[in-house]
Amino acid sequence: CSNKVKTEEPICNVGTLGHVDHGKTTLTAAITKVIAEEDKTCEYVSYDQIDKAPEEKARGITINIAHVGYRTKARRYAHTDCPGHADFIKNMISGASQMDGAILLVAATDGVMPQTREHLLLAKQVGVKYFVVFINKADVADQEVLELVEIETRELLCDFGFDGINIPVIYGSALLALRGDTSEYGVPSVKKLLDAIDTYIPTPTRDYTSPFLLPIDNAFSVPGRGTVVVGTIKRGIVKKNMDANLLGFDESINTTISDIHIFKKSVTEAVAGENVGVLLRGIKIDRIRKGMLVCKAKSMMASNHYEAQIYLLSSSEGGRHRPMRPTGYCQPLYSTTWNVLCRLDLMLPEGTNMLMPGEHVTTKLTLLRSMPMMEGQSFTIRENKCTVATGMVTKILP
């Protein structure tokens, strides 16, 4: 339906997650098929079309992403499916297509596998809060096996801090549904899944009440007036003549919002979710760096010190083979659009002196440059461009 968009219609971003070959692409195709059968304005997208996803350059990295659009009675969906495991990881870490909710596929023939865990973990780190589970390949599994896989999946969700008890779990077969089979695990299972998605994943709402925050994607100078920074307002409302701070990379600069532009038109205010250009009075362009942000004056601070939870990826998840020592580990930390060298000082439980791959721990983070980070903000740590740890800020330290 992506070609027939009514802009006022609510939209929800979803995607298929799960271990390779568990049926993500088959299910994506089946969803469009089932919907297209009933709603002639929606288009069926075949397996081959999805699996030949075009290469996209997102945030400087190459990712294969298929964007599929469809519509239910409740709302419109933008659905992402990535052909390769590495593409999923890159998509989630870079936030290239942020998901409001996700469909976690677990094939009954395999149960929970390493990539099931890894996708779930990364989804958690990037703030995906809602999941619906589809236990796939029910056409070739016994009832008891389906139930065991459900128990295992619910436990996994609970382990990661999700509501594993109440999350909807649907048994079905993407392959039967794609073939138009009308038995229990065919088309009806996909309809059940769509109902669960409609009801369990809320339509995202914008935060208009918190203090104004604008991460900077781009900047250009307006001679004689200052610098325009461009980005999408993350939260709050920006008003003309508002006092603001420009934060990041050791800088905390006072400024004033002297003009706001939306689609090249000057406006007096703009709200969360809007892509804006804001003119910062008296700021020279050479002071702006991608990864800085503009916020309401005194509403945020930048710090070099944070406390965080980190999870060290195991080698089967593409992480390190060797454990991490408690102090002195230095590698670049990536968050939103920036990266800065950081040092970790692990707060290991008593009786342990190393963090093993596959384990998590509380740690102190020291950033080489002071950066504004919020509680709940996710980041990754990479060695030679490979993700070895994911983490989340739990405390801002002075």
- Looking up tokens 């779990």, which residue turns up? 169
Q: What angle do CA 75, 78, 81 make, to 5 degrees?
A: 140
# residues contacting Mg ion (CB under 5 A): 2
Is residue 73 annotated as part of the catalytic site, yes or no? no
Per the CB < 8 A criterion, the answer to whether 81 and 25 are in contact is: yes
Contact characters 146-185, ligand GDP, x per CB under 6 A? ---------------------------xxx----------
Per the CB < 8 A criterion, the answer to whether 204 and 100 are in contact is: yes
Alpha-carbon dihedral angle through residues 47, 50, 52, 54, given to the nearest 10 degrees: 170
Number of C-alpha atoms within 13 angstroms, CB side, residue 218? 8
Number of C-alpha atoms within 13 angstroms, CB side, residue 174? 25
Q: Distance between CA 183 and CA 179 in Å, rounded?
A: 11
Scanning residues 17 to 56, which ones bind ligand GDP (CB under 6 A)? 18, 20-26
Burial class (CB in 10 A: 0-12, 13-18, 19+), 328: exposed
Is residue 67 annotated as part of the catalytic site, yes or no? no
| Percentages of the chain per state (helix, strand, coil), in multiples of 5 | 20, 40, 40
Pick one of 18, 19, 25, 371: the residue that binds Mg ion (CB under 5 A): 25
| Binding partner of 248, given Mg ion, ligand GDP, none, CB within 5-8 angstroms per partner class | none
Alpha-carbon dihedral angle through residues 46, 111, 64, 16, given to the nearest 10 degrees: 60
Helix axes 187-200, 24-38, angle to 10 degrees: 90
Q: How far is the CB of 166 from ligand GDP (least distance, A)?
A: 25
The residue (of 45 and 175) whose beta carbon lies closer to ligand GDP is 175
26 binds Mg ion (CB under 5 A): no
DSSP 275-330: EEEEEEET--GGG--BTBEEEETTS---EEEEEEEEEEPPGGGT--SS-B-SS-EE
Contact characters 94-123, Mg ion, x per CB under 5 A? ------------------------------
The residue (of 29 and 293) whose beta carbon lies closer to ligand GDP is 29
Catalytic residue (one of 67, 85, 239, 364): 85
- Applying CB under 5 A, the span of 22-30, 299-307, 310-318, 384-392 interacting with Mg ion comes to 22-30
Contact characters 127-146, ligand GDP, x per CB under 6 A? ---------xx-xx------
- Applying CB under 6 A, the span of 14-22, 31-39, 60-68, 120-128 interacting with ligand GDP comes to 14-22
The residue (of 108 and 213) whose beta carbon lies closer to ligand GDP is 108
Q: How far is the CB of 31 from Mg ion (least distance, A)?
A: 13
Is residue 24 annotated as part of the catalytic site, yes or no? yes
Is residue 85 annotated as part of the catalytic site, yes or no? yes
Alpha-helix runs per DSSP H in the chain: 24-38, 47-51, 85-94, 114-125, 143-159, 174-178, 187-200
| Binding partner of 21, given Mg ion, ligand GDP, none, CB within 5-8 angstroms per partner class | ligand GDP
Catalytic residue (one of 19, 22, 24, 79): 24
List, by residue number, the catalytic residues: 21, 24-25, 85
* Binding stretches for ligand GDP (CB under 6 A): 18, 20-26, 136-137, 139-140, 173-175
